[in-house]
Amino acid sequence: MENPNAKAQRHRQLRSNNIDPIKQMRENHPSTNSEDDQRSSLLDLARAEITESSNSKTRTYGGFPDPGSGSGPSEPQAPFPDQVLENVLENVLHFLSSRRDRNAASLVCRSWYRAEALTRSELFIGNCYALSPTRATTRFTRIKSVTVKGKPRFADFDLMPPDWGAHFTPWASALAQAYPWLEKLHLKRMIVTDADLTLLADSFPDFRELVLVCCDGFGTPGLGAVAAKCRYRSHLYSSNKLLLLRVLELVESVVEAVGDEEVDWISCFPDSQTNMESLVFDCIECPINFEALDSLVARSPRLKKLRLNQFVSMAQLHRLLLRAPQLTHLGTGSFSANDPGGVGELVQDYTTAFEACRSLVCLSGFREIWADYLPTIYPVCANLTSLNLSYADVNAHQLKPVIRHCHKLQIFWVLDSICDEGLQAVAATCKDLRELRVFPVDAREGTEGPVSEVGFEAISQGCRKLESILYFCQRMTNAAVVAMSKNCPDLVVFRLCIIGRYRPDPVTQEPMDEGFGAIVMNCKKLTRLAVSGLLTDRAFEYIGRYGKLVRTLSVAFAGDTDMGLKYVLEGCPNLQKLEIRDSPFGDGALRSGLHHYYNMRFLWMSTCKLTRQACQEVAQALPNLVLEVINNSEENAGDDIEVLYMYRSLDGPRDDAPIFVNILH
């Protein structure tokens, strides 16, 4: 326990030097104001944990303490100025919202650590296995919102068996016990069961927001439980009971019909008026009770976001639009009419319905689009800031009359069926475009595709404010990539996927090194990069030299030798997430990152040239690192390993690893 006089003296020193502690913090830990991970060293955290004594949770008053009141009971009586400062500190920290700033603040000293822990209300866990749920709930006692992420991104692409882990259940029980006042839960790539959802619904009377992204393991029964039970805080002056739930969003999560167990979850919402603001279920692969949905929308006056699944037809959408013209975000469902025998309204009526939606800014869906219906959205195009046509096989001819109106568009997701011509049309109109994603209709490797460097370059010419791009294509030239690096200096995310592996620049036959080099060189704000095409170690040399802000890097079928990976591990101080597949990086490269691994969220390397031996060495050198060696196939490839998934952990390796996961220590 530190001498309180020394502490008081230090505080006086700070004040007399006119040092603003928050400003000091920012200068020491430059933050880029974004949503990503803490940069604090794991060892510091661990040390803080160890030395933190059990009386850390002594203060029990609410957010705004009375400066004159007493101090923590078990501590020796601190001098008055110190106490005031701590109270002031808590008040100030209350307003700190960025978790990076908070992480930095917590490292200043023990009292800041304590104050920060008491005032944090949003808990972000980037890797569910980085710590035990208990550790989180012990340190942070006043959490109202929790985000937990599970599987690594490459699990989406079947590079890992589905039962690898990331179970939400242990977190569910820990959160249920520790935070009965919990309001929001966001989960990504976790396995969530119906039982988990039921526990949520039962445990949190104030619960209002559930967002599940890329999750699976649950079905309509779990949804029904959430819809039914997340409610009923009776209003003080009336006998009306309110549905507290405001947000229920299922994004790209697998929800399939499981035979008899299917539940009409929409009907589980209470009959009274609801507070629902957002209902997103476009990924649910089973039909829903439309009448119940219609009725739900009718009694949800605050509903702003509604994303329907493909089992909602055009005619049904029409009805819903008439019910809820106040919508700002709409997912249209199928956007085709399959009413057997139903004599639906004329196309004109649909246009009228859209016309009534004056506030619509975000449009998606179009799951089974019948392109003749596309013109019905003309009335809303001029206001759209976000348009997602990435499930709609629309060609350039069909796109042009629509996109021509979309002057305010900032986010555009689309299939490459629109061809270079369609992209040119986008470039001509969407001068405010910030994010573009072009997905392939046909994902097989081929020589020619519908989009190429032509459309890419057109976009770079026309959309100078571009910040984020994901582009799948069969061919790309260095020249076009270089052009984009110069035309779009605000790029933060650059993900180019040339579907043909090892493909060089088709014009010069050169590797794609120069193109990606230009991106890291010229796009000074770049934090996320995905590379493809034929790449040599030189590309990685560029990344290591210029990619100083890069936090996420995805590599596949690239590089020549260990040097490639070494450049990156030695050159990119902000690297957090590194995912590599099928590249010739081996043990030497792995060892070169020892100084940095504790600062990373994870390292994924599959089908590279790592040996078990080297991984063992790393595991021994860095005891707080968990190295999971995963074997996908039956045959043991001997000393070579197939998949290495490596991450830091404060609580050692997990205890729920399946048989095909071998954890090295």
For binding to another protein (CB under 8 A), which residues are involved?
154, 156-159, 214, 252, 254, 283, 314-315, 336-340, 342-347, 350, 367-368, 370, 372-373, 390-391, 393, 415, 439-441, 443-447, 472, 497, 499-504, 509-511, 513, 533-534, 536-538, 554, 556-557, 560-561, 563, 581-584, 607-609
- To the nearest 10°, report the CA torsion of 550, 554, 555, 556: -170
Q: Which two tokens stand for residue 195?
A: 């039982």
Q: Decide whether 497 or 625 has the Cβ nearer to another protein.
A: 497
Closer to another protein by CB, 30 or 162: give it: 162
Give 424 or 554: the residue with its C-beta nearer to another protein: 554
Quote the tokens at residue 154.
Answer: 């490459």
- C-alpha span between 602 and 470 (Å, rounded): 22
Nearest to 111 by CA among 212, 231, 15, 6: 6
Identify the H or E element spanning 248. strand 247-251
Q: How far is the CB of 47 from another protein (least distance, A)?
A: 38
What is the rounded end-to-end Cα distance, in angstroms, of the chain?
Answer: 33
**Phi-psi sector, 394: left (phi>0), alpha (psi -120 to 50), beta:** beta
C-beta of 201 vs 558, nearer to another protein? 558
Least separation, in Å, of the C-beta of 610 and another protein?
A: 10
Nearest approach, Cβ of 190 to another protein (angstroms)?
A: 15
Query: Residue 506 CB, nearest distance to another protein (Å)?
Result: 9
Closest CA to 519 of 558, 554, 552, 480: 480
What does the alpha-carbon distance between residue 295 and residue 308 come to, in Å, rounded to a whole number?
Answer: 15
CB of 590 to another protein, least distance (A): 14
Q: Show the tokens assigned to 307.
A: 């994303």
Closer by beta carbon to another protein, 85 or else 255 = 255
E strand or H helix at 485, and its extent? helix 478-487
In the complex, the smallest distance separating the C-beta of residue 338 from another protein, rounded to whole angstroms, is: 6
Shortest distance in whole angstroms from residue 158 CB to another protein: 5
CB of 394 to another protein, least distance (A): 11
| Pairing of the two strands 577-581 and 247-251 | unpaired
Question: What is the widest separation between alpha-carbon atoms in the chain?
Answer: 85
* 564 burial level (CB within 10 Å; 0-12, 13-18, 19+): buried
Using the minimum distance from each CB to another protein, give the nearer residue, 160 or 279.
160
Tell me how far, at minimum, the Cβ of 457 lies from another protein, in Å. Answer: 21
Choice between 276 and 394, CB closer to another protein:
394
Q: Which is nearer to another protein, 214 or 403 (CB)?
A: 214
The rounded radius of gyration (Å) of the Cα atoms in the chain is 27
CB of 564 to another protein, least distance (A): 9
Q: Can you tell me the distance from the alpha carbon of 414 to that of 12, in angstroms, rounded to the nearest whole number?
A: 59
Cβ atoms within 10 Å of 48's Cβ, excluding its own: 16
Residues 6+ apart with CB under 8 A from 330: 305, 306, 307, 321, 357, 360, 362, 363, 364, 365
DSSP assignment letter at 267: G
Sign of the CA dihedral running 332, 333, 338, 343: negative
**Least distance (Å) between residue 520 CB and another protein:** 17
Residue among 217 and 462 whose Cβ is closer to another protein: 217
Give CA–CA dist 95/90, Å, rounded.
9
CB of 78 to another protein, least distance (A): 54
Distance CA 436, CA 463 (A): 10
* Segments in 179-287 forming alpha helices (H): 194-203, 220-229
* Residue 49 or 345 with smaller CB distance to another protein: 345
- Which C-beta is closer to another protein: that of 240 or that of 447? 447
Q: Side-chain half-sphere of 421: how many Cα atoms within 13 Å?
A: 11
3-state percent breakdown (helix, strand, coil) of the chain, nearest 5: 35, 15, 45
In the complex with another protein, the residue whose CB is nearer, 510 or 651, is 510
